[in-house]
């Protein structure tokens, strides 16, 4: 459940914030470029990171002015770092925090470092992940993009705001589904003009001269193959801060909630608390949907590679439109099949029948299976017996058929959905289940 969003007054600006967790440590998370404190919880990998941080702290989240749920600001009068530090102080005052640890990600690390140097009495410790010291190339800081390259990046970003943006730079190894969700998160957190204006403002930041004046305990984390902020920048920053601890992590994701997120949180937990407990699996009740195209191999042979790829792209677009319509979350694709989860079984069943009907216009048939059960969430992945059960139910379906488990049939009683009994089946590895076909959605 999304924590309650509240507001703190910073001058004339309302700053949206949340507090979650009851740990002994107050921990302020300063997000990167743009954020939305409520949308953070809709992305499972992001929610997993926040949940783990809240497991050992009283976690304080906020949206910087001009982004997310905080007040917008004029694009010709963007906030200074000093004003953004005032926003942090306003939130700390609102939650009654005299001194807290500060964790800054990417651009948020710039402001976090300045805050720790300016207000050491209010900062118990500082952690930085994927942070840069400046955003424009110079002979003594050769890892940042040149002004010309930076301007090209910003122009491309604004032009592609309605699409996938340049997420291969931020999360190159993540799935297409992850990148689509990340692009949606950015679009819903700021307008194109605001997003690009804030990045242009970030380009002017330079905190190199303040790093040696940071006196609080500091941890610097950086991924070795980060394409957006080079690992050399993390090494250089750590070398400038007296007695800073530096840890390099594997992977190429710049995004905090991409890659091995538990590896990041493990280091943070040990640094802030002195102990490393590791993640506990999150278990939730969820409805799983599996679909796949009937006779796909034969169809591919008949059509040839090019036409088959075009047809498959049309199928994938239809599936994703229906998932968005029924609030499903794409978890994985394998060949011509989709695996998705829903927070309600009736929506999953209606989504499955809508996909079946819509792909019929392409001359395709699918089979689908739906099951509800307890699932284990591990970052972006979904595991557990319920997942295997859903896959086994799907495999039983005939062409054009949507099958559901008895659990689903019982849960959607009164929804207007109608079913026919398909009997009891032994599902490999998961036991015996009663299975039903959807006849009216």
- For 283-309, write each residue's pLDDT tens digit: 778 999 999 999 988 888 888 989 999
Q: Are strands 123-129 and 431-440 parallel, antiparallel or unpaired?
A: unpaired
For residues 224 and 348, membership in a common domain is answered with: no
**CATH for 318:** 3.30.70.1230
Last residue of a domain, one of 273, 305, 330: 273
Last residue of a domain, one of 219, 238, 273: 273
For residues 214 and 328, membership in a common domain is answered with: no
For residues 139 and 220, membership in a common domain is answered with: yes
For residues 183 and 39, membership in a common domain is answered with: yes
For residues 290 and 264, membership in a common domain is answered with: no
59 assigned to some structural domain: yes
296 assigned to some structural domain: yes
Give the ranges where 203-295 is alpha helix by DSSP (H): 231-240, 261-273
| Weakest-pLDDT range from 155-169, 261-275, 306-320 | 155-169
Q: What would the mean pLDDT of 129-139 be, rounded to a whole number?
A: 95
DSSP 5: P
For residues 180 and 317, membership in a common domain is answered with: no
- For 356-401, write each residue's pLDDT tens digit: 999 999 999 999 999 999 898 776 788 889 999 999 999 999 999 9
pLDDT band at 2 (very low <50, low <70, confident <90, very high): confident
Q: pLDDT value at position 280?
A: 63
| Predicted structure pTM score | 0.68
pLDDT band at 281 (very low <50, low <70, confident <90, very high): low
For residues 322 and 257, membership in a common domain is answered with: no
Report residue 19 as tokens. 């507090």
* Domain count for the chain: 2
| Weakest-pLDDT range from 26-35, 277-286, 318-327, 413-422 | 277-286
- For 339-360, write each residue's pLDDT tens digit: 999 988 999 999 999 999 999 9
329 assigned to some structural domain: yes
For residues 88 and 184, membership in a common domain is answered with: yes
Task: Region of 11 please: left (phi>0), alpha (psi -120 to 50) or beta.
Answer: left
**Is the pLDDT at 1 greater than 80, yes or no?**
no
Give the distance from CA 416 to its chain's centroid. Answer: 34
Q: pLDDT value at position 279?
A: 65
d(CA 437, CA 439): 6
Q: What would the mean pLDDT of 100-113 be, rounded to a whole number?
A: 96
- For 89-103, write each residue's pLDDT tens digit: 999 999 999 999 999
> For the chain, what percent of residues have pLDDT higher than 90?
73
**Is the pLDDT at 277 greater than 70, yes or no?**
yes
- For 146-171, write each residue's pLDDT tens digit: 999 999 988 888 888 877 777 888 99
Last residue of a domain, one of 208, 239, 273: 273
- For 178-232, write each residue's pLDDT tens digit: 888 898 999 999 999 999 999 888 888 899 999 999 999 999 999 999 999 999 9
Nearest alpha carbon to residue 392 among 354, 433, 348, 362: 433
**Is the pLDDT at 408 greater than 90, yes or no?**
yes
Q: What is the mean pLDDT of the chain?
A: 92
1 assigned to some structural domain: no
**CATH for 162:** 3.40.50.1820
For residues 172 and 315, membership in a common domain is answered with: no
Q: Is 82 helix (H, G, I), strand (E, B) or coil?
A: helix
117 assigned to some structural domain: yes
Report residue 140 as tokens. 């003594």
**Residue span of the structural domain in which 16 resides:** 6-273
For residues 206 and 251, membership in a common domain is answered with: yes
For residues 148 and 291, membership in a common domain is answered with: no
Sequence-separated (6 or more) residues with CB below 8 Å from residue 212: 240, 241, 242
Task: Region of 330 please: left (phi>0), alpha (psi -120 to 50) or beta.
Answer: beta
Output the CA–CA distances (angstroms, integers) from residue 309 to 174, 317, 406, in the order listed: 22, 12, 36
For residues 294 and 228, membership in a common domain is answered with: no
């Amino acid at each position: 459940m999304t924590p309650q969003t509240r507001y703190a007054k910073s001058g004339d600006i309302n700053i949206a914030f949340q507090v979650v967790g009851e740990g002994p440590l107050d921990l302020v998370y300063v997000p990167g470029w743009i954020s939305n404190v409520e949308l953070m919880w809709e992305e499972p990998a992001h929610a997993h990171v926040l949940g783990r941080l809240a497991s050992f702290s009283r976690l304080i989240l906020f949206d910087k002015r001009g982004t997310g749920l905080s007040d917008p600001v004029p694009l010709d009068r963007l906030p200074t770092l000093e004003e953004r530090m005032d926003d942090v102080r306003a939130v700390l005052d609102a939650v009654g925090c005299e001194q807290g640890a500060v964790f800054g990600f990417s651009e948020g690390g710039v402001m976090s470092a300045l805050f720790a140097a300016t207000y050491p009495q209010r900062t118990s410790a500082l952690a930085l992940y994927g942070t840069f010291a400046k955003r424009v190339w110079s002979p003594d800081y050769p890892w940042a993009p040149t002004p010309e390259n930076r301007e090209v990046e910003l122009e491309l970003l604004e032009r592609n705001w309605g699409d996938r943006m340049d997420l291969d730079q931020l999360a190159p190894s993540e799935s297409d589904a992850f990148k689509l969700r990340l692009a949606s998160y950015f679009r819903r957190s700021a307008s194109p003009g605001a997003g690009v204006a804030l990045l242009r403002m970030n380009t002017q930041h330079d905190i190199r001269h303040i790093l040696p004046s940071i006196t609080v305990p500091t941890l610097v984390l950086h991924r070795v193959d980060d394409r957006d902020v080079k690992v050399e920048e993390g090494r250089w920053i750590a070398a400038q801060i007296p007695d800073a601890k530096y840890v390099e992590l594997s992977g190429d994701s710049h995004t905090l909630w991409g890659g091995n997120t538990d590896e990041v949180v493990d280091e943070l937990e040990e640094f802030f608390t002195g102990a490393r407990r590791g993640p506990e699996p999150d278990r939730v009740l969820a409805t799983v949907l599996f679909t796949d195209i009937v006779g796909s191999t034969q169809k591919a042979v008949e059509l040839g590679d090019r036409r088959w790829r075009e047809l498959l792209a049309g199928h994938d677009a239809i599936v994703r439109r229906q998932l968005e319509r029924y609030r499903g979350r794409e978890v994985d694709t394998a060949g011509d099949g989709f695996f998705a989860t829903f927070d309600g079984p009736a929506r999953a069943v209606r989504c499955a029948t809508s996909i079946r009907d819509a792909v019929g216009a392409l001359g395709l048939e699918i089979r689908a299976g739906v099951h509800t059960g307890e699932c284990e969430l591990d970052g972006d992945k979904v595991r557990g017996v319920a997942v295997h059960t859903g896959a086994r139910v799907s495999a039983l379906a005939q062409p054009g058929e949507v099958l559901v488990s008895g659990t689903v049939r019982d849960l959607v009683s009164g929804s207007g959905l109608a079913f026919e009994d398909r009997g009891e089946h032994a599902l490999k590895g998961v036991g015996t289940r009663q299975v039903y076909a959807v006849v009216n959605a």
